[in-house]
Structure 1
Amino acid sequence: MPLFGKTPTVKEQMRQNDRDLRKTQRDIARDRTGLEREEKKIEMDIKRAAKQGDKHTCTILAKQLVQLRKQKTKTYQMGSKIQSINTHGKMMHSNVKMAEAMASTTKAMGNMNKTMDPEKTMKTMQQFNKESMKMDMTEEMMNDTLEDIFDESGDEEEQDAVVTQVLDEIGIEISGKMVDAPSAHRGALGESSKSKVTDADLERQLAQLKDL
């Protein structure tokens, strides 16, 4: 009976059933023990009556003995039945636990499916790809615009003019010492000049550059 109207759980109910069945088994075992004692007593009474030649008493006692032995057999049958019920109950409890586990697993999978909505996930991935493409296009457009601005500003030409001016100034200061040196407009890199510059010439040129 539920305590204070509280419905017992399946586990609590199974424990209670197990206690009740074990108690019934013990009661049946005690009854069987009593029947066995009574059986031995009747057997002794039958032997005594037989020795006295009391056939009538022997017949009555023999019928009692038969009935008693039948009852004892029933106790064994009942004990087996109770054991079977107990085993069946444990199997049912195991099935209930498996059903509960399946229910929990099903609920968890349902929650995962709700969280990982395939359509929503696909839309998110498509939107990500779309935004990524926009970002790449924007970056490419910005790079092109910046390159156009830099090209229009004439920075490259201005830098070339400054370099040319410096080289011209150096060439004037060293009084034509570098005239015969290799230059980009006289041939490919590594080609020999008309007259080779000696180490002494280079040292003098470096010394003049330091004096500038």
Structure 2
Amino acid sequence: MSVFKKKPTMKEQMRTNERELRKAGTSVTRNRNELEREEKKLEAEIKKLAKTPGNQEALRVLAKQLVLVRKQKTRSYAAQSRITGISCQQKAMGANVKLAESMKSATSTMASMNKMMNPQAVAQDMRNFEKAAAQLNMTDEVVNDTLDDILNESGDEEEGDQIVQQVLEEIGIEMGSAVRGAPTPAAHLPGATKTSDVMTDDQLMESLAKLRAT
């Protein structure tokens, strides 16, 4: 019975790759440190043999080894740079994958909203709203104009002045009658004469006091 291994996800694979890259970088660094130690060792041996004459062949062999060690050390730097570049490239790829996933989610959300939203119905609702608002404004204007017409009818001010004047005249007549002790004849009765007496403020106050006392 064969067992199928579950395929790793993108996130898991990137985590594995990053771990392998770190291991590779550590290995290259360790190897370069060993090469540097070997380089120093060869340099010391070459300096030691150079002080002793007759060791030209040995010096030549050590010099070739030193050249190879330095070349290998240069390769290790190049390898380290390549590993670092791959790591950066993978991180950039991971960022692009996350961005793509976010865009996919946003696209799905917008598609769902488009399915839920009916553009024609929304447009009709907006038109109905504008129509209702216009009708409300028109109704408000009509009501205001009607109230203005009712409250400010032509002749209201003159009629109000006449009523006040009539009341004052009636009070003046009564007060005049109380002061003089005789009623004032009405203007509409036959033979009646309109009085020309005009009361002063002092007389008016005195009459009011007498009316309160009665």
- TM-score between both structures, scaled by the size of structure 1: 0.56
Q: Distance in 2 between matches of 1:4 and 1:17?
A: 22
Is residue 120 of structure 2 the alignment partner of residue 119 of structure 1? yes
Q: How many residues align?
A: 139
Unaligned 5+ runs, structure 1: 133-189, 199-212
Q: Distance in 2 between matches of 1:125 and 1:31?
A: 74
Is residue 79 of structure 2 the alignment partner of residue 75 of structure 1? no
Deviation at 1:51, TM superposition (A): 2.2
Please provide the CA RMSD for this pair: 3.1
Equivalent position of 2:108 in the other structure:
107
Q: Distance in 2 between matches of 1:12 and 1:112?
A: 32
What amino acid is aligned across from residue 114 of structure 1 in structure 2?
Answer: K
Equivalent position of 1:50 in the other structure:
50
For the residue of structure 2 that corresponds to 1:8, the secondary structure is: coil
Unaligned 5+ runs, structure 2: 133-162, 175-214
Equivalent position of 2:17 in the other structure:
17
Deviation at 1:7, TM superposition (A): 2.0
Deviation at 1:102, TM superposition (A): 0.6
What amino acid is aligned across from residue 30 of structure 2 in structure 1?
Answer: R
Provide the identity percentage.
Answer: 47
Equivalent position of 2:183 in the other structure:
none
Deviation at 1:93, TM superposition (A): 0.5
Equivalent position of 1:92 in the other structure:
93
Is residue 49 of structure 2 the alignment partner of residue 39 of structure 1? no
Q: Distance in 2 between matches of 1:43 and 1:125?
A: 88
For the residue of structure 2 that corresponds to 1:5, the secondary structure is: coil
Report which stretch shifted further, 80-89 or 40-49.
40-49
Q: Distance in 1 between matches of 2:21 and 2:59?
A: 39
- TM-score between both structures, scaled by the size of structure 2: 0.55
